[in-house]
Structure 1
Amino acid sequence: MIHCFIRNRIYSKERYGTSEMKLKISLRMTTFIFCALAIIAAVLSFINTQNVDLKIREQADRMENHNQCEDKILEFSKASDDLTTATRHFVATGDPVYMNQYWQEADESRHREDAVNSLNALGISEEERTLLKNAMEASDRLMETETLAMRLKADAVGIPESQMPPEVAAYVYKNGEESSGPEEKGQLAIKSIFNNTYENQKKEITDNITSFRSQLYNRKTSENTLSNSETMGSLNHMLVYNFFLLLLLLVLSFFLLFFVTTPLHRYYKSLKNSRENSAEPLIPAGSKELQQFAESFNSMVKDLKNQNAALLEKSRTDGLTGLYNREAFDLYIKETIEAHGGRMALFFMDMDEFKGLNDRYDYLVGDRVLTEAGKKLRAIAEKNSGMAARVGGEEFAMLLPSVKTQLAAQKTAEQIIKVISEIKPESSRKARKDFPVSVSVGVLLWDSQADALPLREVLHRSDLACSRAKQQGKGHFKFYYANDSDLQAMQYTQEHEQQVEDEMYGALARREFEAYYQPKYNIETGEIMGAEALVRWNHPTRGVLSPAHFIPVFEANGFVVQLDFYIFKKVCRTLAGQFKNNEPAVPVAVNFSSRHFANPGFADEIRRIAELLSVPPSFLEIEITETVLMENWDETITQTCKLREMGFSVALDDFGTGYSSMGVLQELPVDVIKIDRSFINRDLSEHRNAMFITGIVNIARVLNLRIICEGVETREQADFLKKNGVLFVQGYYYSRPVSEAVFKEMLIKNKS
């Protein structure tokens, strides 16, 4: 894999060698330059946008100013015309209403003065101001003429001064008109406003206003032209800067496309096409940063591949012997079968009494022995083009594809046994005598093409052959034969144990384990005085199974601890229900494995369960066997003493089959001894057998212990026990173990 990766990398360099000669453009620096230019262009564009906006607003203000000037000058002209009209109506009719209207308009609106002041405020030119002044002076002269005409007319029609407007009443004749008569004054009034002089004064006002408007128009046109030119200039500048911004954006887009997006897409496709442990190298391209990324990534992938290869090799190697482990060996078998097929030999080796070697010396010596064995087995495997592996603590396996005959396999097995026996344990601690090192070998010779066995079955068969070899003694080998009855029995036992282990947890969860009760009878009265709880497995397909079917397996794997407590709780719940329903109840004995007595809290847990379910300790009896007692003497004595102090009864089961003696019985904290069925099943007519049971009864009486004899199956046995003073019995003669419901019915009938 690593060689392929290096080869691909060299090929990539040859194929894309020119790419490494390309200029490395820094993405960071290029982005900085683009951003700086964009900011400058944006600022300039913003400034010109503001200038354009200012020019447009100035132009609008200027237009508004010109329009206002136009309106004001028209207002001035209209005010002059309105006053002339009012004067002529008064002179023509003599109606004082027109005279009052004239001065009312002149006093209230002051049109001319307002118009002139507004025009000055709007900022007119000096020439325009002169024209406006001339028009104003001409207007004043015209008003004086109009005032004379109104005074003459007012005097002509006989309007008293008190009824004249103050301006008219205050007017003083300058050419002796006061001496003229009313009719003459009327004619003079007409002549004063209907003559060339008056018209010339009106014309002077009109000419000045026309000239003012012409000057205003020309100035407005000139200013608008200049403003439009400046505005267009600012707009052009803004467009130039905006175009520059767009150009920068376009260039930046092409830069990102060719130097960022395209290389990233290539990297993505390369990674997507990569498979596990065969990642393609990334071809450096694009910006400087992306090229550095690709180079760093390729370096990282190379390092990771090397590390993974080293870790894979380490994970498949046994740390002590240097041989391959079980996982690697399984893979080797599979690959060898696929690659070669045909006949081959598998050897399964188990060091004999290796625990004894460790106990005699120490574990360091044991490790050195295993290491030496690994070296010797590897030499044999390499010589025969095969592989050796350590598949367990002191178990080895070897596959030799080149060994195809039984004779060759036999020679190889003998060679393995010989080289292992040459290993001598060495230790600084002197042993009493040498400990011989030996190995048992199981050999499977099979045709992988004709007999396509699963990998698990291949190893299992060689393991079975090894187990059979160990039964023959140390340093033996055994071939696997499908028709070997001993191997078949061993295979059945292993398969049975595996099946039981596979089903046990599910069975407990589904409550398939039940408590069956075997009554204990008073042999004289026939009354049920107690019972022993015995576990049964109500299997969904195989029916009710006895303890012999599964208890040995549970004892070996430790599941018996859970099962014992499960049955104990069921018994307690049954007793609690009997108490609650006022049903007859008797003490029940429950068997417990030796594993419990290694737990310092065992007695406390028994009491906790009984108290929780409200069952008096006097209704519960704990049964232990002689084997349990002798294996864990101190712990068992401690726990049984605590149980008796708590009020529970303790029974010694299978009495007489183990190591019990008079001295032992004196020290045992038990209340009951149960005579094993093996003594009852003997020929009781023989004096020796009868005296043995009589002796046990006498010993129990001396020690004040109750006796129960189990396994009573015939009337003769019952009569013999009754004759020899045994008061309590249990067995098939009285009742087989029955379910909870049947036992309750038996109690009710027995107690009624």
Structure 2
Amino acid sequence: MYKRTVLIVDDKEINRKILARMLQDKYGLLFAENGKVALECMHEHADVIAAVLLDVMMPVMNGYEVLEEMRQDEVLSKIPVIATSQRDCDEDELKILEMGAQDFIAKPYKAELIIRRLNNIIKLREKAAMVNKAQKDELTGLYNKQFFLHKVQELLEENSHQKYDLLCVGIERFKLVNDTFGVYYGDKVLKYMAAMMKDIAREVGICGRFGADNFYAVLPYKEYTNESFEPWIRRVENFPIEMDIKIHCGIYAIEDASIPVEAMCDRAQLAADKNRGKYDEYFCVYDDSLRKKLLHEQFIIGNMKPALEEHQFQVYYQPKYDLNTGRVAGAEALVRWIHPEMGMISPGDFIPLFETNGFISQLDEYVWECACRDIRSWRDKGYPPIAISVNVSRADIYNPKLIDNLLALIEKYDIPMKYLHLEITESAYTENPQQIIRVVGRLRELGFLIEMDDFGSGYSSLNMLAEMPVDVLKLDMGFIQTETRKASGKGILSFVISLAKWLNLAVVAEGVEQKEQIDVLRSMDCNYAQGYYYSKPLEKSAFEELIRVSEVAEMICTSRTTLDYTINEKNNEALQDGRVMMIVDDIEVNRAALAATFEKEYVIKEFENGKDAWLYLQENASKVDIILLDLLMPVMDGFQLLEKIRTNHQTRQTPVIVMSQMDETMEQRALKMGADDFVSKPYNALVIKKRVSNVVASYELRKIKHGLVSIHLGKSRREEK
């Protein structure tokens, strides 16, 4: 029987022998005593190595260095890695996973656990390889993109005398389906759509799925009306789910078969995008207006590089204002294109294009340099120091020279880091959170202040907000304008601002246009605002005059300073609100240590056994915000109390963090019973404070996800602010 090969990398011979005994019956084995030898072995046997068991701490080259080398190699980066270490440390595990390892196992080894995890990651890799080679989309059974393009090309070549249409269908707000009902129901929607597309395309028999929710089909040419699409619109609406499923449709009439099929698909999708959100118009046909749009896009792409070289791009500054004092507190750098013949070209025309073709990185670096140069100039003129926010695009995050480029600008213009804020849009955080955490976390460690831009334009980032390395939350302009218009929305807006404050984030509201919005935001303790109510984006000279004659307030980020909205003030508010933490532990010194850690943030209620705690909880369930529960106690232990909490309708939603000496069995049992997290003794104050913060924030976010609050807004562009 064929055995998959596993490379064991460990500097200790005894460990290699132990692993060999565990794995030799199921796997072929290779060995390396350090990272350098391991890399040589991988380069030599990359085609047969199914997985690597990699020790973290080794001489010559350690596990971290090996992962870094593998990540930069196109071939080796595809080999799955399980890291091993003597230390069972959350920080070590997080670092290893961020660097690309697929899993982490602490020593001493457990044979069954290692074999199962190896088997899982090997099967996952092999399955991915099979899917990539397949002609069909695995979930729906439709053609994948490449094979769809191939089949359409064949059809057109073999039937040159016939005319066809290319149909593109997308699902409105499909991401919200996944977020609200889960991936299982999201997949059911996709399968339902696939079945419908097969029916639509039955005359020709060619249909495919590109990406998450874009479907394509080839149809015989005909004239279409709304009535043509009504059966399909009704069929989609009848999908059995507590949400209205809507679709947008685009048609491209294939008149020139010499055009690449992928370009035809792009045109059909362009028509579908134009139909997005138009529920009274069931389809859109690619026409001359869309053709003109393509020509305009080609003009932009053809002129972008000369425009950059000739400094046609200019940086405008939109001021941010302190809502409490009314003083200027910062500004956002926004790019404008002043073409010598066309005049002002809308950022809405060129920014999305540049994000697609990658030119956005060059433009961003140009804006960064302009902003740094201006900050230096204003300091030299003796103007009040002011922080400028610049946009960091998704493409920039993947640039390995990003950090070096930013540091080089700081050094070149000799400006303090705190005056150059980095804005990263919400959607970037949801695309690749681990990459964002790694890169942005490093920038933040170096001293840059990080702003999450356009928060509220999406949904999924709510679930990861507590873990993101940010200092400032910028609320999307559409969110502000929509939610301040309706009484029900003010609760949502207030909740988001309160959540940000709980996480020690400063809050900036974008797109503020009316005094009523200012009054609402100020009443909710929002920190800052920008928008046309205060000022439109200003040319450099106009903004320079503004800060010359204005009293400028320094923008305060609560995660970095104790000024302005300080931690102590926040804690006092928590105490005034009666926020209650129950500490249940039979050891007095443990209770005292935990109480001292949280006494400024919570009203502390201490209990030495589960019985007394349960009596209190039955009478005060609605007042308790978090329970820290020791597992081993007399009278009623933590397991017994946890079971009561999770089976009682008044207490089942109360956050519970269990505590004990490190014991994997006890930890697993408690988590299966419904504990939200596990903290091992002895306590580390920083760790347990972070765990409590994350668990409480997660419970608040869960309220949104279960329907107490719903946030969904159309996307906004940075240029509209």
TM range, smaller chain: 0.3 to 0.5
Highest Rg: 1 or 2? Answer: 1
Specify which structure has the higher proportion of strand: 2
Specify which structure has the higher proportion of helix: 1
